Structure 1
Amino acid sequence: MMLRLVLSTMVLAALASGTFAQEAARPQVSQCQLIAEKIPDVQYANYTPSASGAPKRTLVQVQEDVVITYLGHSTFQIDTPGGVSIATDFNGWLRTSRTPDVVTMNKAHSSHYTLNPDPAIGAVLQGWNEAEPGQPIEHKLVAGDAYVRNVSTDIRSWGGEMEPNGNSIFIVEVAGLCIGHLGHLHHELTDTHYGEIGRLDILMVPVDGGLTLGADSMSRIVKRLRSAVVLPMHRRGPPIETFLSMFDGGFDTQISENRGFTVSMRTLPKKPLILVLQGV
């Protein structure tokens, strides 16, 4: 497979759109993994007193709305406040409303990747290491107002054996939100995985009940992550009610009439919500 790899060690020069930049001088700090004592010289807030001694206030218009649209199978389109479009588990035939700036891929089945991505796509991020099979791939991509990174997991091969680091959980950090896509997850996560993932406000989770991880195991992952919004995807066979029945009153559920929704840090539900978008 000759797909374009975008590695953390590469510096993305100005692309045609001028949207992308890669941190070269220092690593990007993940807002979803923050541990205050490990971050030197953090300045959380300050103000400059006016001549009268009263605080000088500055009002800033903050763009914070993120639009998430379900396109089918495991593909979501994430549109950021800054105008960046990101497509998850992109296969080329579930089309987004525009050519994505960034696409993520996993290789479990051909419905999760494409061999011929549109050359107009700014960055194609594979969830596996093609150059060194079995070794983890690392992505730390800054694309406009979004930061995209990954956590490697193992995958079950066609023969049934486990292939190390063959899948990636991709995490998009934008407008204060931490959005995680579990990909084609085939095993329960370790404490190390959870530490690498950090906080997830929005979780995209496969609910097929067998082609990926079994439904019972997947529900344990959802409960541990306890994201504010859980978006089922990759449903093959079992009715969605089978997945929903695994959660007690600690989770709300909603069947949406729409394929997409708008969300921000301000509008996240206080109680975890499993939101079933149209098409699931």
Structure 2
Amino acid sequence: MAGYLGLGLVLLGLGIGQYWLQVRPVPSPPQITMAADIYPVGEGWILHRRVSEPRATVVVMHGLLENPLYFTRYYDDPELELIMIGATGYQLPVTSADRPEAPWDLPPAGTPGTIAADAQLLNLALEHLPGTRNVRVHGHSRGGAVILQAASERPDLFSQVEVILEAPVLPQGQPYRPSSAISRLLLPSLHLLWQRRPDMLLEQPIWGPLDDPDKRELIRAMPFNPRSSALLLTNVRDLLGWMDSSSTEIYRHVQRGAILVPGRDRVLNSAAMLDSAHQAENLQIVEVPEGSHFVLLDNPESIPPLRNP
């Protein structure tokens, strides 16, 4: 009896420890000051960098573990109106004195950390904020899935929109390496260790070239972007489920744009990405043979230029 009691106490302790690892608040990432309107929407964010006479509007959706600053250097043209989506359950890397009243009624809250919840945010921004008719929606990695999901729910909003799906999570796609139950079990512990040593994974081939100091800083911020390890686990499970369950029929809701497929992606399976992309009849495929998962940072010349109004 004593043995069973001891085993029970050990298992209880392990369970409590695992729960603590998952729900423990993550320290805030460094913030930058930006002249932008900030709209909190449930557990997500919409940031709006206004310009007086924009020539085009760009709406961006970041990927897993990232934040909206992934896009700001590329889209720094002062004539561009930039609308940035901060994923549900993620921390805000930007501070601003501008917190205007939102021009919309809040929608029903989705489950934080899911592609569906972030698609809801994207559609809210796309419906109410663009100041031009020349609109591009650019998503990286998981952000590509968010765009496709958003378009399937509100195809009317995407009828005149150009989409850029960069190294994207796609229907019937696959991770670079299969995700196991053990790896997901260990994820909260790795997440905690990564926060304590932000450089510990910096030299892994998953990142591609690391000569760019801005890219290195974006990677160092990654373990601090999700508010908890539980949220990160939700991200991973939902992303894998979305790839498996989504049909390539979803592509019919986007009318023009491009899918960028890097040949040296070490996050997602490039061959599966390319197979799926070939089902998107309305989109151009741009192969980047030497590209890593981070095409915008490593091969910005591969991104199709914005069309003129």
Settle same-fold status: TM greater than 0.5: no
Which protein is richer in helix relative to its size?
Answer: 2
Which protein is richer in strand relative to its size?
Answer: 1
Larger RCO (CA within 8 A; separation ≥ 6): 2
